[in-house]
Amino acid sequence: MIRFDPSHDKELEEGSRAHYREPLYYAKSYARRTEDVAYYRSLAVQDGGPILEYGCGAGRIALPIARQGIRVVGVDLSREMLDAFRVRLKREPEAVRDNVRLVRGDMRSVRLRERFPLVLCTFNTLLHLYDRQDVERYLARVHAHVTPRGRFVFDVSMPSAAELARDPNRAYRVPPMRWPATGQLVRYAEYFDYDPARQILYVTMHFEPVDDPQAAWSTLLAHRQYQPRELEALLHYNGFEVEQILSDFGPGPLDRYTDSAVWVARPRKRSSPSRRVPRPS
Ligand SMILES: C[S@@+](CC[C@H](N)C(=O)[O-])C[C@H]1O[C@@H](n2cnc3c(N)ncnc32)[C@H](O)[C@@H]1O
């Protein structure tokens, strides 16, 4: 059996951790990504919670939900992201702080003694599950933590054939920017290298301080690429039914222009034994 276990694959392990070691840079990079925050916040308000968010990071989505008076349990692997979340919480009123519980751990194994009517896995966190066994372990945890009539909602980037075909040696540059922790001006380039056998996109982010090019460093991000029909099958065979798939947090169906696919799934009702066995006619 082919097994790509990130804990035995240093590159994958690094690819699911490195990007999250610099929460200030992360926050700066995604400051303009707001549609997902609005979508999840309104979903949470409609639902009422409590909510479990896998991959809560520094609270970009969980904190606006907690500010609505809704209780959130956030699970994340990254100590740095959770520390940044705690710093943000210190600036919040006590009522908001009391709404948040943070758990450091791997989403494939964390056990909480609670079920939630709404379980979220936000902003590509699911793309850090690199093979079928990862997904199965994770979906079993979701199943154990969602109420029987609850929802499991997640969003993932749609694989783009053009993007996956990019030349791995080509640098995709953007204008220099200030590194938030130091204020240093850095040149920034990204390299994209897609492994079609494992369906993993490796993104190498290269940073080069303008005044000190020798101090350049790189950060790796590894994202599994899930085709929609593959995800649907994984959900189906792991006990979920898909209720809805949204395009870019709006109502539209998935199409070639979709950037983020938003999946709304529910635990599948078990058919009763009498219906499972066909009766002789
Ligand atoms: C793209 S960030 C999303 C953070 C936040 N939800 C947001 O929207 O900004 C993905 C998060 O998933 C976390 N993560 C990656 N692999 C994980 C795992 N196996 N278990 C739990 N969290 C994981 C990372 O540490 C990171 O905080």
Q: Whole-prediction pTM value? A: 0.94
- Best residue among 35, 65, 119, 128 to mutate for probing ligand 1's pocket (most ligand atoms within 8 Å of CB) is 128
| Ligand 1 centroid distance, CA of 128 (Å) | 8
Q: Are strands 116-121 and 51-54 parallel, antiparallel or unpaired?
A: parallel
Predicted local confidence at residue 271, as pLDDT: 62
| Ligand 1 centroid distance, CA of 259 (Å) | 19
Question: What are the start-end ranges of the E strands in the chain?
Answer: 51-54, 72-76, 100-104, 116-121, 146-157, 172-178, 185-195, 200-209, 217-224, 240-247, 260-267
Whole-number Å distance between alpha carbons of 224 and 280: 46
Query: Two tokens at 219?
Result: 């950060």
Q: In which element (H, E) is residue 229 found? A: helix 228-237
Query: In the chain, what percentage of residues exceed pLDDT 70?
Result: 93
- Best residue among 125, 129, 201, 223 to mutate for probing ligand 1's pocket (most ligand atoms within 8 Å of CB) is 125
Mean pLDDT, all residues of the chain: 93
The answer to whether 72 and 50 have CB atoms below 8 angstroms apart is: yes
- pLDDT single digits (tens) 133-179: 999 999 999 999 999 999 999 999 999 999 999 999 999 998 899 99
Residue 12 Cβ < 6 Å to ligand 1: no
Whole-number Å distance between alpha carbons of 267 and 139: 10
The CATH number given to 33-158+227-271 is: 3.40.50.150
- Which residue's CA is the closest to the ligand 1 atom numbered 19? 106
For the chain, domain boundaries: 33-158+227-271, 161-223
Residue 154 Cβ < 6 Å to ligand 1: no
Whole-number Å distance between alpha carbons of 178 and 183: 5
Query: Two tokens at 4?
Result: 């790509």
- pLDDT single digits (tens) 44-64: 999 999 999 999 999 999 999
Residue 38 has pLDDT above 70, yes or no: yes
- Residue 147 CA neighbour count, 13 Å, CB half: 10
Predicted local confidence at residue 269, as pLDDT: 84
Residue 60 Cβ < 6 Å to ligand 1: yes
